[in-house]
Every structure is written in C-alpha cells, then in structure tokens.
Amino acid sequence: MAEDTDALAVMARILSPHCRVIRMSDGALIADWKRTRFLGLATTEVQKFALGSPEERAELVTGLMRAGCATGRRKKCADADVGLWLGGVHLLIRTLGFGRALRLLSLAAPAYTRADLPSAEEAGRLKRAVQSHSRRSWLVNGDCKSEAVTAFVLLRRCGLKATLHVGVHEHPFALHAWTASGGLCIPDADPRGRAFTPVLSIDCGGQ
C-alpha cells in the first residue's frame, strides 16, 4: 500500500502540470485537464514505478510522453514568443483596460494542478527577455502592466509558480504591477526606489 502511494507520488512529479493522478481500487487514473481526457493504469503498471526495474519504469515514462501526459524536459519560451506575447498583452490591455484583461488570466494562464518553483536561472532568463523586448518596442515602451502580465502568463503556462501583484504608492500617488517568481520580480517591485504596497495579488491562473 505504501509502495503504491510512493509510486503515485513519483508519477505525479513526472506528469505534466495539467495532469492529475488519482488512485483507484484497480490501479490509477490520469486526468488530463488540458485535453479533457482520462487514461487508466492497471495495478501492475503502478507497481512497476515502485518495484520495477529502471528499464520498466523508463518504458512507462516513454508511454506517458507519447500520450502527451509527460514531457522529457520542460519547454522553454522562445525569445520570439516572448515578444509576441508582450505585444499581444499590451494591445489587450489598451483595448479592454487593465481590470478586464486580468479577468481573462484564467483562460490565458490556466490553473494547472501542479505548479513548480522555477530556478533563478529560468526566472532571470525570462526577466531579461521581457524587459529587452519591452525596451525595444515603441508600442510597449516599458509598460509595467504589460511586462507583469506577460511574465505571469508565460510562467503559468509552463506549470511554474508565479504571483501577479498590483501595488500602490500614496505620495505621490502611483500604481505599479509586477510578477514574483523564483525569487525575482518582473519588472522590479520597487522601481526608482519607490516601495509599492500590494492591493491585489493573483496566482494560479487568476483564481
């Protein structure tokens, strides 16, 4: 019993963030929320994760990867994708307004069943890419709201933990937005040395 539980825990770490593994009386059920489908595993297959040889476990992982429920390596956002998302987010905010754009986060950044903590390298790479595209774009031109929302969406779509903050500075009055993840803030939480008090925080896809 304990071995099966350990096997399910290992399986959960292997699965993509949009998949959940559920223990069943005759094995396990993998719920793939991204594709709205379910995959069953027999008890013998679950036990291979706990007691099987490395070759048997590798075979099972390969099968999960072919089914789209697991990935060998987390997909990184291409630099060009960052620019496209940044421009799209900025136009969305300009068209709908910042408040309405935030309501759409649950669609753009789904609340996956698992959110991993990004490494400092991953978060730093994304921060450099977002700010580089923002500075080069005459349309975005360093807009903190666009940078924060873009970073939040891209991190959550990769199954990584991220929290979007909207803060206020009273004297003089100013609003600022940033996304915190992996010990970094995108953009900086205190630009020009100003401290902003968070009045709204969103994580897990806007929920």
Distance of CA 85 to the CA centre of its chain: 14
pTM: 0.69
The closest alpha carbon to 117, from 69, 175, 156, belongs to: 156
The answer to whether residue 141 scores a pLDDT higher than 90 is: no
The closest alpha carbon to 126, from 180, 204, 89, belongs to: 180
At 24 the pLDDT is: 85
- Report d(CA 36, CA 140) in Å as an integer: 36
Residue pLDDT, tens place only, 7-66:
777 777 778 777 888 888 888 888 887 777 888 888 888 877 777 787 887 788 788 888
Beta bridge partners of 22: 29
Token output for 197: 């008090």
- Report d(CA 101, CA 89) in Å as an integer: 8
At 205 the pLDDT is: 45
Residue pLDDT, tens place only, 59-115:
887 888 888 787 655 566 677 789 999 999 999 999 999 999 998 888 787 766 667
